Structure 1
Amino acid sequence: MTSSALPRPGLRDDPDPCRTVPLPLREQADVRDRWLSQRLLDLLPGLMDRAGIDLWVVVAREYNEDPVLPTLLPATWLSARRRTILLFHRSDDGVTAAAVSRYPVGQFLPAWEADEQPGLSPAQSQWAAVRRFADQAAPRTIGIDVSAVFAHADGLSATEHRLLLAALGPHAEKVVPAQDLVVGWLETRLPEEIAVLHAMNRLAHQVIDEAYSPAVLTVGRTTALDVAWWIRQRFADLGVDGWFQPTVGLQRAGVPLNDERGTVLPGVPYDAVIEPGDLVHCDVGLSTLGLTTDTQRNGYVLRPGETGPPPGLAAAVTVGNRMQDLTTAALRPGRTGDEVLAAARAAAAAEGIDGDVYSHPVGVHGHGAGPAIGLWDQQDGVPGAGAAEVHPDTVWALELCVRVPVPEWGGQLVRMALEQGIALTAAGVEYLDGRQTELILIPPG
């Protein structure tokens, strides 16, 4: 079962290259640098105003990067170089982006020459340039990347924190956490980015369809673990990265869930051979162009003579779709993640649906910065991340499950888990390349 023997799907049939993935690396760099310019011009001023920050300071050393740093660097910069310091000053004219760095940083204004102050070491001279910039900017607030809630916004190391406060001198009393700014920067998407995420989700769906096809899956011989590794290899062969190890799990008549919620380990081992009558579930995510996806889809292995799944399994998908509808109806800007969770669960309970919601932002990171709408083991709210507010122009992994008895399986509970990328804009919620409404049918052989 080698991916090199399989046909490459038609991935470059869209005339707009920004809507087609994967792209060659050079084209990716052009797209990412264009996005960065547009984000700095169009998004950052409003995000700094919303967070109440006049000067944002991002500091990182090579091999100890702040999680937000790669989203601010040119595409040809794969990491910080030596010590890289980026300064963003909000003024009436917009945002001035400057770099206090030994090497030129793309479109950033150079704010330091290493030998500009004889007698000072390069490190001393670099920090002196930061102080000089702060003196000239005279900010009321200075945002730094420290956060007890979001790891994405907690990237300032202890050493750099200490050196920065010392360099700022009297400006140090103006320092505030930049958590809200970092989260806003990471979660907010341009329309062009949402268009690409449509294409990325389409690619994920294509790979899943391929993985569930006879070209990959031989019923009675292929294991769930085989399929998981095939998906990861397929992503690598296509030129995209997987941001986590794919998982493929089975549910089977006569093998009940390990617990009543079905949230620990499946009753069928991951290395079990896939058999007729199995419900096959996968969880996969890919990364390219600095963005990620997170997707779960389900297939059914037909028994000999069957032309479709048992009605009870088909009905479970419909119940899962209804749970999606109730969750997206609750997903409104201005609400907190905990409020969305409570509203969705209350609506589900009113309809007699037994399910859990554990949706999350997805974009730069798979488990992205922004409001948590439940965790699989925290259905009453998520301290910290659940208190964050929902904003428009964000992208989510609509992740949830429902538990439904299947009459054809003797009333056995099936956990139907669905995960689908969605975009929340002023126009409402849109599914990225559509959602699953029917089980993918896998022939018995």
Structure 2
Amino acid sequence: MPAKRHRLFAPLALAIALAAGAQPANAQEAKRRWDELCQIRKDKLDTILPEAMRENGIDMWLVAMREGHDDPNAAMLGGGYTSDIGYFVFTDKGGGRIERAVMGIGGAGFDQCPLYDVKVSPAQLRAFVEARNPKRIGINVATEIGTADGLSHALHEKVRETLGPDLSGRLVSAEKLVSDFRSRNTATSIAAFARAGEYSRTIVERALSNEVIRPGHTTTGDVAWWMMEQLHKEGLGNSFGLPSIYILGPGERGPVSGDHVIQPGDLITVDWGVHYLLAYTDMKRMAYVLKPGENAPPPGVQRAFDRALGIRRMILDTIRPGVPAGEALATVNRRVAETKGYVLGRYDDPSRDLGVSDVVIGSHSVGDFGHGSGPSMADFNPLRATYTLRAGNLLSIELFLYTVVPEWGPRKIKIPLEDNGVVTARGLEWVYPPNSRILLVK
């Protein structure tokens, strides 16, 4: 395949991420991050929200919150403090801009990033909505997507009571609107995600080296907590809690991020993600601990890794904007099934036929709260599999290959790969350097 189709997204995101790098925080880092976050919010509201509301036929989007119970979209919409009940209200009045109103939400930081046209009391909600007379009012109740399901039962009842029977009859789910709003990206949000990816990559690749690992002494838990310490030093969060670190072979998996002492001959994997501003990554890396006299993994391990890279190329070949994510998954699954030596498998339950390699693909949405909110090439996201891939969507290209490593006996070893990129008119482009090798620990 032409190399240019899957090149790094350097014109926009990678260059920004690498230019800034993973520098230690200084006195101005908090303000720099705040300014970046403010611009991301402005760009999302200016450019993504109008198309998301109009494509889904929603005239007004009503986001309700209580003190101590923020909606999952609150940070993206400006954050702020809710003293009792608060509302973000977005109304399509025509033209290029969506009217933005905030009620009962504020604070010094909130006010330093001016996003809203109207600020009124929550007590005025009904009069405000009546004056705009929307036909369809989207609220955050959902069947599958958690980021679109922030409205509690009690607050839902409170909203209905406040609006009255006529306006309450116009309430509809905003699930698809929220998915579109969160999963489509601007230049600034892609740049922030690329920076998060670079933090993720550099920390995990340092962790899987002799900087951290002393074979025969260091445990998988030691490595996991070293990674958490780096997040603490850099002022970053995580996507899934403690990194998942475990042994792929030659022995059994053992405890995850626990007391397994890493030994020469171990093949190790790490699954984790970094939270930076509004961006959440999800990636994996592998390392082999060299035995005395070795300078490379066993040939069978390297062949297995190379086969996994081949499956990744099949996935990249299928990704195009304008194609439903589930259709793209079905296409690559058919190609895998038609390739000699491969079968479609089940996660962590490979077939007994040692003559074939099992493949599981779960290339899901990514970018916000770990597994994201947008189109997903993954069976575990059935609703999102019906959504159409668009330029600007972020995807985690994730797969698992279960195959025999001859040097390690008659059982299948799991080879996981996962890295993140952005959908463009050319397909999928990485936003940081993806995994291309098995890391080596001496």
TM-score, L = length of structure 1? 0.84
Q: List alignment gaps of at least 5 residues for structure 1.
A: 1-12, 114-125, 257-265
Q: List alignment gaps of at least 5 residues for structure 2.
A: 1-13, 343-357
Residue 218 of structure 1: how far off its partner (Å) = 0.2
Aligned residues: 400
Counterpart secondary structure, 1:184: helix
- What amino acid maps onto 2:120 in structure 1? W
Whether 1:61 aligns to 2:66 is yes
Indicate how the Cα distance of structure 1 residues 15 and 364 shifts in structure 2: closer, same or farther if over 3 A, else same: closer
1:251 maps to: 248
**Aligned equivalents of 1:16, 1:222: Cα separation in 2:** 31
1:373 maps to: 377
1:130 maps to: 125
1:346 maps to: 334
- What amino acid maps onto 1:434 in structure 2? P
Whether 1:336 aligns to 2:324 is yes
Counterpart secondary structure, 1:422: strand
Whether 1:112 aligns to 2:107 is no
**Aligned equivalents of 2:408, 2:18: Cα separation in 1:** 47
Whether 1:188 aligns to 2:191 is no
Indicate how the Cα distance of structure 1 residues 202 and 30 shifts in structure 2: closer, same or farther if over 3 A, else same: same
Relative contact order (alpha carbons < 8 A, sep ≥ 6): 1 or 2 greater?
2
**Aligned equivalents of 2:61, 2:19: Cα separation in 1:** 30
Residue 21 of structure 1: how far off its partner (Å) = 4.8
5 Å matches for 1:183-262? 183-243=179-239, 244-253=241-250, 255=251
- What amino acid maps onto 1:86 in structure 2? F
2:361 maps to: 357
The CA deviation string for residues 150-208 of structure 1, in whole angstroms up to 9 with x for no partner, is: 11101111122112222223222221111111111111111222122222212211111
Residue 370 of structure 1: how far off its partner (Å) = 2.0
Indicate how the Cα distance of structure 1 residues 16 and 392 shifts in structure 2: closer, same or farther if over 3 A, else same: closer
Indicate how the Cα distance of structure 1 residues 18 and 174 shifts in structure 2: closer, same or farther if over 3 A, else same: farther
Between the two proteins, what is the percent identity of the paired residues?
A: 27
Indicate how the Cα distance of structure 1 residues 222 and 16 shifts in structure 2: closer, same or farther if over 3 A, else same: closer
Counterpart secondary structure, 1:360: coil
Indicate how the Cα distance of structure 1 residues 384 and 272 shifts in structure 2: closer, same or farther if over 3 A, else same: same
Instruction: Work out whether residues 18 and 192 of structure 1, in 8 Å CA contact, stay in contact via their aligned partners in 2.
Output: no
Residue 314 of structure 1: how far off its partner (Å) = 1.1
Indicate how the Cα distance of structure 1 residues 276 and 318 shifts in structure 2: closer, same or farther if over 3 A, else same: same
**Aligned equivalents of 1:418, 1:15: Cα separation in 2:** 25
Q: Match for 1:173 among 169, 172, 185?
A: 169
Counterpart secondary structure, 2:263: coil
Counterpart secondary structure, 2:390: coil
Residue 407 of structure 1: how far off its partner (Å) = 2.1
Indicate how the Cα distance of structure 1 residues 88 and 214 shifts in structure 2: closer, same or farther if over 3 A, else same: same
Whether 1:284 aligns to 2:272 is yes
1:394 maps to: 393
- What amino acid maps onto 2:160 in structure 1? L
Indicate how the Cα distance of structure 1 residues 415 and 102 shifts in structure 2: closer, same or farther if over 3 A, else same: closer
1:147 maps to: 142
Residue 246 of structure 1: how far off its partner (Å) = 0.4
Residue 363 of structure 1: how far off its partner (Å) = 1.2
Whether 1:44 aligns to 2:39 is no
Instruction: Work out whether residues 192 and 276 of structure 2, in 8 Å CA contact, stay in contact via their aligned partners in 1.
Output: no
- What amino acid maps onto 1:312 in structure 2? G
- The alignment's C-alpha RMSD in Å is 2.3
Instruction: Work out whether residues 17 and 198 of structure 2, in 8 Å CA contact, stay in contact via their aligned partners in 1.
Output: no
- What amino acid maps onto 1:304 in structure 2? P
Counterpart secondary structure, 1:101: strand
Instruction: Work out whether residues 374 and 393 of structure 2, in 8 Å CA contact, stay in contact via their aligned partners in 1.
Output: no
Instruction: Work out whether residues 422 and 430 of structure 1, in 8 Å CA contact, stay in contact via their aligned partners in 2.
Output: yes
Q: Match for 1:100 among 97, 100, 103?
A: 103
2:433 maps to: 434
Counterpart secondary structure, 2:130: helix
Residue 33 of structure 1: how far off its partner (Å) = 0.8
**Aligned equivalents of 1:194, 1:301: Cα separation in 2:** 35
**Aligned equivalents of 1:339, 1:17: Cα separation in 2:** 35
**Aligned equivalents of 2:140, 2:255: Cα separation in 1:** 44
**Aligned equivalents of 2:61, 2:210: Cα separation in 1:** 53
Instruction: Work out whether residues 365 and 375 of structure 2, in 8 Å CA contact, stay in contact via their aligned partners in 1.
Output: yes
Indicate how the Cα distance of structure 1 residues 186 and 81 shifts in structure 2: closer, same or farther if over 3 A, else same: farther
The CA deviation string for residues 272-295 of structure 1, in whole angstroms up to 9 with x for no partner, is: 211111111001111111211111
- What amino acid maps onto 1:217 in structure 2? I
Whether 1:157 aligns to 2:152 is yes
The CA deviation string for residues 209-244 of structure 1, in whole angstroms up to 9 with x for no partner, is: 211221210011111121112111221122211222
The CA deviation string for residues 60-84 of structure 1, in whole angstroms up to 9 with x for no partner, is: 011111111221015xx3x534322
- What amino acid maps onto 2:155 in structure 1? E
TM-score, L = length of structure 2? 0.85
**Aligned equivalents of 2:378, 2:385: Cα separation in 1:** 7
1:8 maps to: none
Instruction: Work out whether residues 322 and 388 of structure 2, in 8 Å CA contact, stay in contact via their aligned partners in 1.
Output: yes
